[in-house]
Amino acid sequence: MTVCSDVVARLTGRAVSDARPLSVALTEVTLDDGRVVVVKRSAEPGAARAEAAGLRWLAAAGSVPLPGVHGHEEGRLVIDRIAQGRPSREAAVRFGRDLAALHAAGAPAFGASPPGGPVDAYIGLAPMRNERGTDWPPWYAEQRVLPYLRRAVDQGTVLAGEAAVVERLCERLPALAGPAEPPARLHGDLWSGNVLWAADGRVWLIDPAAHGGHRETDLAMLRLFGCPHLERVLDGYQEVAPLADGWAGRVGVHQLFPLLVHAVLFGRDYAEQALAVARSAREG
């Protein structure tokens, strides 16, 4: 029995009848009772624990559906496979309503980890530390934007002279952030690849970087990397939880963190996008 099959058998209590690699990190496994699970292998020791805790915390809200978690072991996370379908306008509206309900489930603080989740978590392949804060603008600057700005400067992706553009935006965040809102229960890495249009006609979420944050951050990431029927998603969201006035003008502020993460991981093109967003937001 392979390590993957052995882990699956222990966590599901079923024997493995078949396994099919989907990528370097993902394996689709069929159990002896016909159910299918997915095994995700992480290079970082705490990533599987963080993702499992995030999936469970988001699912506990009873809003957006998420795959069931069988457990994690030896850096491998075992979850149910979700049969994929096609995007539809109806599913988009329902997803918007469900996402609003998920955010409204709340979090103890900005930066709060899911119960059982580590402080040192991840957003995709990148580290993301979940230190708590009570006020969103300074927390967002100190715990999200500035750590990745420093990393981007250290590796030369952002020039030292350019960093001041982002630093000045961080100083102005109290004025740019809009009305104060309570901490929302965020997916935290809500790009289109983590939005799964399922065969059951609903939208499911996968691969979270869950934490307490500002609800506009999830919506900004949907727009940053594209989402089918996004305007219908926003229509459904606003039916349940209308966004504060001026939210559209704050999208760039909320996109700054994921852009800097991508700059560190993937290079200069994303750094230029981050700088453009910072300049635009400052001017706005």
Place of tokens 């453009």: 276
Q: Is 4 left (phi over 0), alpha (psi -120 to 50) or beta?
A: alpha
What is the model's pLDDT at position 282? 56
3-80 and 89-283: identical CATH topology: no
The span from the CA of 235 to the CA of 181, in Å, is: 20
Question: Which pLDDT score is estimated for 54?
Answer: 98
| Superfamily of domain 89-283 in the CATH hierarchy | Aminoglycoside phosphotransferase (APH), C-terminal lobe (3.90.1200.10)
E runs forming strands in the chain: 16-21, 26-31, 36-41, 69-73, 76-80, 120-123, 126-129, 184-186, 195-197, 203-205, 211-213
C-alpha angle 237/60/204, rounded to 5°? Answer: 55
- The residues that are catalytic are 189
Contact by Cβ (8 Å): 104, 241: yes
Specify the pTM: 0.95
With the C-alpha atoms ordered 221, 224, 226, 232, is the resulting torsion angle positive or negative? Answer: positive
Can you give the pLDDT at residue 284?
A: 44
Q: How far is CA 137 from CA 9, 27, 170, in A?
A: 46, 40, 8
Residues (pLDDT < 50) of the chain are 283-284
Domain ranges of the chain: 3-80, 89-283
Q: What share of the chain is helix, strand, coil (3-state, %, to 5)?
A: 45, 20, 35
Quick check: 67 and 55 in contact, CB under 8 A?
Answer: yes
| Helix/strand/coil for 211 | strand
**CATH 3.30.200.20 corresponds to the domain 3-80:** yes
Radius of gyration of the chain (CA): 19
pLDDT value, residue 1: 52
Rounded CA separation 77/71 (Å): 6
Close Cβ partners of 96 (under 8 Å, ≥ 6 residues apart): 232, 233, 234, 235, 236, 237, 238, 239, 240
Q: Is 106 helix (H, G, I), strand (E, B) or coil?
A: coil
